Amino acid sequence: MTWFDKIPEIPRRWRAWLAGAVLLVLIILLYPFQSTIVPGWRVRILDESGVQVSGINVTQHWQHYLIESEGHEEARKTDANGVVDFPARTIRAGLLTRMVDAVMNLISQGNSAKFGPYGSLVVWGSRDFETAVATYEPGTPPQPEVIVHRQ
CATH number at residue 48: 2.60.40.1120
Domain holding 102, by residue range, is 34-148
- Quote the number of domains for the chain: 1
Which of 9-13, 60-64, 80-84, 101-105 has the least mean pLDDT?
A: 9-13
More confident residue, 118 or 106: 118
In a domain, 10, yes or no: no
- In this predicted structure, the answer to whether residue 68 has a pLDDT above a threshold of 70 is yes
The answer on pLDDT for 4 being more than 60 is no
d(CA 57, CA 75): 7
Q: Domain for residue 82, yes or no?
A: yes
What is the reported pTM? 0.80
Whether residue 140 is contained in a domain is answered as: yes
Q: Averaged over 81-93, what is the pLDDT?
A: 96
Q: Is the residue at 29 inside a domain?
A: no
